[in-house]
Each structure stands twice: as C-alpha cells, then as structure tokens.
Structure 1
C-alpha cells in the first residue's frame, strides 16, 4: 500500500519516498504527499526528483488496492524501481483545493437537513448539489458562509472506529458517495469545537487548519438541476 502522508500532514509539500513500481500506467511510491483524485477533489500535480532527473506528474489517482498512481507527463523519464525520489506537489494548487474543500464543508453546514447529491472541488470554483425542493436565498447563504469563515473556527481531523456510522448514520451527508468501510477506522473532519461543531462528517480530503485561511467566498449562482436538485456554485471572492 502507499502511505498517505497527506491525511495527517496536509500542509507538507514534499517528502522522500522509494519507488515501488514504475511504468506507463503510473509510478507507485511507498509513501506520498500527493492526494489521489476522489470525493470530488482533483488529484495533486507536481514533480518527482531523482538522481539529477525529474518527472513531472500531471495527477495522482487511486490504483489497485491501497496504492496511489502518480501519472507522469507523456514521454517523461521514469524513475527506476528501488530509487529514492523527492515527491513535491504543486503547493499553490493544493492550497486552493484545501481552501475550497473546507468552504464546501461550511456550505454543507448551512443547508441543514438536505442530503448532498454531488459535488466537485476546483481551484477557481466549486459546487455542491443538494436534495432540495426550493433554492435557498443566494445573498443570505453568501453572508452566512463568510461569517463562518471570518469566525476562524479550527479545522481538525480525527480517526474513529467505523462502527460510529452504525450508531450515528446522520454523519454521512452524501447520497452519491459513501465512506469506505472494511479497514475498521474512519476519518472524521471537524470544524469548530468538540462540543458544538459547525460541521462534522467523514472525509478523506485535504483542508486548511482554520476557516479564516479560506478567505472571502462568493456564491456565484444557484441552479435548478432537476425537480429536487439545487446546485450551489462558489468561488474565491478575490
């Protein structure tokens, strides 16, 4: 398996690693800071540096089992199996995804009682789809979202027994994607204090450590995507 360093150290931009497999289908490392595409968040891009050479990585994706594939640019030199590389992500792109992903958690907390039917994280704009009969007021949602951001709530991840989903199934807000089960443990992302969190739900993505790091957000538009589906698109205000 590939050790997912980004889960507990989301601000780590590079790490040393050993090449386990290397080929046209992707490069597998024993550990990585590259987030693999999933849960609506794009995979990280960046570079692998080794023995005076480098391999540009266009995206990281999930491979077989618990491996992560680092997809190299077409025609790039590939590091040999057993070599030690420095794996470095495009930090500014990752940071943009962290800010937007965290803001989507805050947005989810504002649309109470509605399941999430889909979503996509982007550096420039992101979206969440909700199972709602009527669209929420755009200006009010934007004001409430920015108030939560400015309150500078802490953002923390914690590992718990996956049985918590049996005792509290309401933790899962998404209809389209369910948390993976079978490992015995579950990663929860908590925004706010332990007693009365702003948001608490399973998530394997990357996030900023405090909401103020997101910066101002604007609600671009709210669209009707079906009789019972409302899409809210957000973007950085700056």
Structure 2
C-alpha cells in the first residue's frame, strides 16, 4: 500500500482502488488515512464512489507494516474490490491531531526525563514522564512550550538505517514504544534545534501552526510518574 500521509501530512484526499473488503474493513492500494499508532488516533472520513459515500469511523493497522484497514460505520453499502474510490479524511480533526502531536514533541523537549506513555486527542493530549513531581511547574512548562511555538521553527522528517538507529539509542525518549525496525530504515521527526526522535505520526510544517497551548493539569501516576495534560488554545 502507498502510504501518502508519510510523505505529505497535508494531503486531504486521493483516488484509490479497493483491494479487499472483509469483516475488519476496507483495504486500498493507496491512502491518505493515518492508522492508529504511536498514541495518535486513526483518521476518520469517507470513501466516495458511484454517487455513494461510505463513512469511515476509524483507521487501524492490519497484519503488515503497510497493511491499513479503513473501518466503516455499520449498515452501509461497501465498495467491491476493484472499485475506484475517492478517499477523503476529516481534515479539521486530522489537523488538530497534527498540531497536538507536534506540540507533544515540544513538551518532550521541555520536560526532562524519559517518556513512559502518551495519548493524542483533538481536544486534549498528554505525556507521562518518569520524573519527580517537584521538578514540574505547570506555568513554567506552558511558557517554555509556547516560546518554542512562537519561534516558528521548521518541522520535517528524515530517515536513518536500522543500524544507525541501533547505534544512537539516545534518540529514543519513549520507554513504552520502541521505534519500528526491520524494514531497513527508521523515520525521524525533526524540530530544528529542538527535538529529534523516531516518530511515524503526522505533524505540522512549522511550530507556529500549533498556535499556542496551555498545560491544564499535572497528575501523579506513580512514584515518579507524572502526567502532563495539554490543550490547544483555540
């Protein structure tokens, strides 16, 4: 499958061909739909064909690295294999995920300690850090992240080999999720002079697009496990 979102996170639609349909959902030969992974929710949207529209409520990974399943809402007529469809994502929801995901990379750069978990949402997102509570100040964290946002730094991706990844374990900040290896290369997310780490998600092109965040709360989730929750300001 051609995963268009990996090369262009701003692609909102594409023309594709249905390759398979079963009880799990619909597979296409190419897609702009991001599948659930790395804490980022799968895209929702629609597949349009022959004057019909199938609403897609979720997108998930299938059996292989590039096997993506588009999960339809129930009770809809499904396209047969070989059907040409227009695949269209819910852009407003995806764009909020892109802004949130990039904001979490800035949060990761601001807060010391390893990341033990995280979750991205359109309304709020979080990262869990292995760090003492007394070292975290809600207002100071928000101010530091918003300075990085205001700097409007470029955000991009680059690829390194599995061997290069193995030689640079310091690039991995997340303890709970290991970067995918085995395909020969690993995708890195780069925020210029701020952050560089493995990530397969979708992000904005510049930090200024995030628009500002607030830290809504810091929760105690264990002896040294602190959850930092953020929300976009708009």
Same fold (TM over 0.5): yes
SS at match of 2:97: helix
Residue from 218, 233, 237 that aligns with 2:229: 233
Question: Residue 118 of structure 2 aligns with which residue?
Answer: 119
1:207-218 aligned at under 5 Å gives the runs 207-218=203-214
- CA deviations 1:40-83 (Å, max 9, x no partner) are 00000000001111110001000111310000010111011011
- The 1-side partners of 2:96 and 2:143 are apart by 21
- Displacement of 1:214 in angstroms is 0.2
- CA deviations 1:158-177 (Å, max 9, x no partner) are 12212122221000001100
Is the Cα contact below 8 Å between 1:23 and 1:78 reproduced in 2?
Answer: no
- CA deviations 1:179-220 (Å, max 9, x no partner) are 11100011001001xxxx200000000000000000110000
Question: Residue 22 of structure 1 aligns with which residue?
Answer: 21
- Displacement of 1:122 in angstroms is 0.3
- Displacement of 1:24 in angstroms is 2.5
Structure 1 runs (4+) deviating above 4 angstroms are none
- CA deviations 1:118-154 (Å, max 9, x no partner) are 0000000000000012241111101000000000000
RMSD: 0.8
Question: Residue 224 of structure 1 aligns with which residue?
Answer: 220
TM-score, structure 1 length as denominator?
A: 0.96
1:77 is aligned to 2:77: yes
Q: Which runs of 5+ in 1 are unaligned?
A: none
- Displacement of 1:237 in angstroms is 1.7
SS at match of 1:109: helix
Question: Residue 203 of structure 1 aligns with which residue?
Answer: 199
- The 1-side partners of 2:162 and 2:202 are apart by 20
TM-score, structure 2 length as denominator?
A: 0.97
Question: Residue 60 of structure 1 aligns with which residue?
Answer: 59
1:24-43 aligned at under 5 Å gives the runs 24-43=23-42
Is the Cα contact below 8 Å between 1:20 and 1:82 reproduced in 2?
Answer: yes
- Displacement of 1:232 in angstroms is 0.1
